[in-house]
A and B are shown apart, each in its own frame.
Chain A
Amino acid sequence: MKRVLLLVILFIAFMLSVPQAHAKTKTLQQLIDETPENGTLQLSNVLYKENVVIHKNITIKGTEHTVLESLNQKPVIQIENAEHVSINNVTLQNSYLGITGEKSQHLHFENLHFKNMRSGIQLYNTNNVTLKHLKITGIQGHYSNKGNGIALYNSANVKVQGNNIQHVQDGVYIESVNHISLSENKIDNGRYGIHFMYTKNAQATGNTFKKNVTGIMLMMSQNVKMYDNHLYDQNGLNASGMTLFQSKYIKVFANIFQNNRTAISAQNLTNSTMKNNVLLMNQSAIELIRSNEKNQVKRNNFIGNIVNLRSDGTGSQIVQNYYDDYAGIDVNNDGIGDRNYVALQSFGQWMVRQPAYQYFIESPSVVLLNEIDRQTNIIEKEQLVDQEPLMQSTMTIERKNTWNFWKLVLGVGLVFTILWFWRKEIQG
């Protein structure tokens, strides 16, 4: 009898300890259909395994354990011809595609979690879109077999803010979009962090890109500002912090490029400026291909890179940058070196034409060649010449307050212990 009672108690305890999904009587589609136009649908901790279509103005709010899954390769949520759709606090998981939106406007997605998804969100012909605080994690495998985290086509007025995207093909793919701002996003382990195509009037600020093939891939776009981004560890094969291709009116300001294979690869750019960037410990810092005199490389800090600048011979304005390997002096103390800095390196130029040569970088013969270049470059007047190199870096380093209470206690304790032993020694 006692044994039976014990078993019953154990069973009840087990049942109470395991979280139970609330019993659902209706499908999500039914709930959506029953919600009045412009109404709010509050979902509880339920797992819905279905595909739903939204044609109306609606706000859907989930809770911590509201989970949606698709049964097939169709999107979990499909939005069509809607004027106002807001979805908050929902998890979408183990599906081919999360949300699609077409011919809709005023879409607001916030605090959504996409887990183990091939693609997160795809929007076509949409306007006034906000994608905020989303967490998107793709499937395992090579990026060629994955979809994009967020993909936007033929849309306008888009805000992508504070999202965390990883293990997808392109973090945010943007094609033919006008007026888009991307800020405070963290994108890693994908092909391209942000991939702009035919984009106009965009800005990317305060984003972090890590371990992608390319942090920002910008192609055939115009009037794009990218500033205060941190791009680091894009150092795999064919990798770069930013690749800027066939675009115009591009501004690359105050970004930090660290430990990338190539920090900035600019090809066929016009009327563009790279200014106040910190280029730190990259294999090649800036590569200029088919450039022109209207492009400016100004007041950047080149520190610890193997090759600072390289080009295919086409010209750009290179002025007032700081180079850590500049060997000149400043007699009149105006902060500008008295002789030119010439970044021309035969080996750097060859690397542009034959990227495979990068594997010989820092080999004894290349080091010798660079030294010969340094001696003979003094007479170079045109290619990769900075006539006003800065003597001091313009970089400002913010030091975080690293005071740690326990470290302090330990340190003080250690000092007193030593003092105590010392005193004992003296007294003895």
Chain B
Amino acid sequence: MKKRWLVGIFAIVLCLQACGNKEYKPRKIVSETDICKICNMSIVHKEYAGEIALKNGDYEIFDDLGCLVEYMKDMDEDDLGKAFIKDKSGKKWLDVKTASYVYDKDIWTPMSYGVIAFQTKDEAKKYIEKEGKGELLSYSDLDTFKWGVHH
């Protein structure tokens, strides 16, 4: 009898775990087929790409952080699983909401918005120090940032 109870409890725990927080991971970008959801540009510069993993399992792909932020502004927050952006090196995916950002009009990005991502604030500060220019931004700053007006 005890055994049956234990098995039952174990099964319930498993079920509850499955219904709990889903882990969202970025998917691989395919240059041949992926285009930006906002501007329709094909993703040839993967090192600047962004992704949104939707709760329904779909992905939306973006060529530039600016396009991703524009999409996030209009989307239903309940649909959002997790948003990702490539870091400065172009190799690592970062959580858009926790990353730090640097803007400078001379930084080239596919849409020439000039904003790049770093995992930590320290990394972003070091970049600004090294380049001798750039403005430090947080995720909340991106919401009010005027994309593309420097041209």
Chain A positions near chain B (C-beta within 8 angstroms): 142-144, 169, 175-176, 191, 197-198, 213, 217, 219-220, 237-238, 243, 245-246, 265, 267
Contacts and interface: CB of A to CB of B under 8 A. Distances in A.
A198 B31 contact: no
Interface string B31-68: 11101000111111000000000000000000000000
Nearest to A198: B151
B112 interface: yes
Given A197-B112, A238-B33, A245-B39, A143 B44 contact: yes
24 contacts: A143-B42, A143-B44, A144-B43, A169-B44, A175-B112, A176-B112, A191-B42, A197-B111, A197-B112, A198-B112, A198-B148, A198-B151, A213-B42, A217-B41, A219-B41, A220-B151, A237-B33, A238-B35, A243-B40, A245-B39, A246-B39, A265-B40, A267-B39, A267-B40
A231 to B, nearest CB: 16
B42 A238 contact: yes
A215 B124 CA distance: 38
B40 A220 contact: no
B151 A176 contact: yes
Contacts of A144: 31-32, 42-44
A272 B44 CA distance: 29
Nearest to A240: B40
A360 to B, nearest CB: 19
Nearest to B35: A238
Contacts of B112: 175-176, 197-198
Nearest to B46: A144
Contacts of B44: 143-144, 169, 191
Interface residues of B, number: 14
B98 to A, nearest CB: 29
A169 B32 CA distance: 12
Nearest to B151: A198
Nearest to A191: B42
A337 B6 CA distance: 79
A229 B141 CA distance: 43
Contacts of A197: 111-112
A400 to B, nearest CB: 36
Interface string B86-122: 0000000000000000000000000110000000000
Contacts of B151: 176, 198, 220
Nearest to B44: A144
A245 B40 contact: yes
Given A238-B40, A245-B39, A220 B148 contact: yes
What 8 pairs across the A-B complex have the smallest Cβ distances?
Answer: A144-B31, A198-B151, A144-B44, A238-B35, A176-B151, A245-B39, A243-B40, A220-B148
A143 B35 CA distance: 14
Interface in B20-40: 31-33, 35, 39-40
Contacts of A245: 39-40
A49 B54 CA distance: 53
Contacts of B41: 217, 219
A215 to B, nearest CB: 13
Contacts of A169: 44
A176 B150 CA distance: 10
Nearest to A267: B40
A273 B43 CA distance: 29
Contacts of B43: 144
Nearest to A217: B41
Contacts of A142: 31-32
Contacts of B40: 238, 243, 245, 265, 267
B145 to A, nearest CB: 16
Contacts of A217: 41
A191 B40 CA distance: 12
A34 B31 CA distance: 47
Nearest to B32: A142
Contacts of A220: 111, 148, 151
B140 to A, nearest CB: 24
A246 B31 CA distance: 23
A144 B42 CA distance: 9
Given A176-B151, A197-B112, A198-B112, A219 B39 contact: yes
A143 B32 CA distance: 9
Nearest to A219: B39
A180 to B, nearest CB: 15
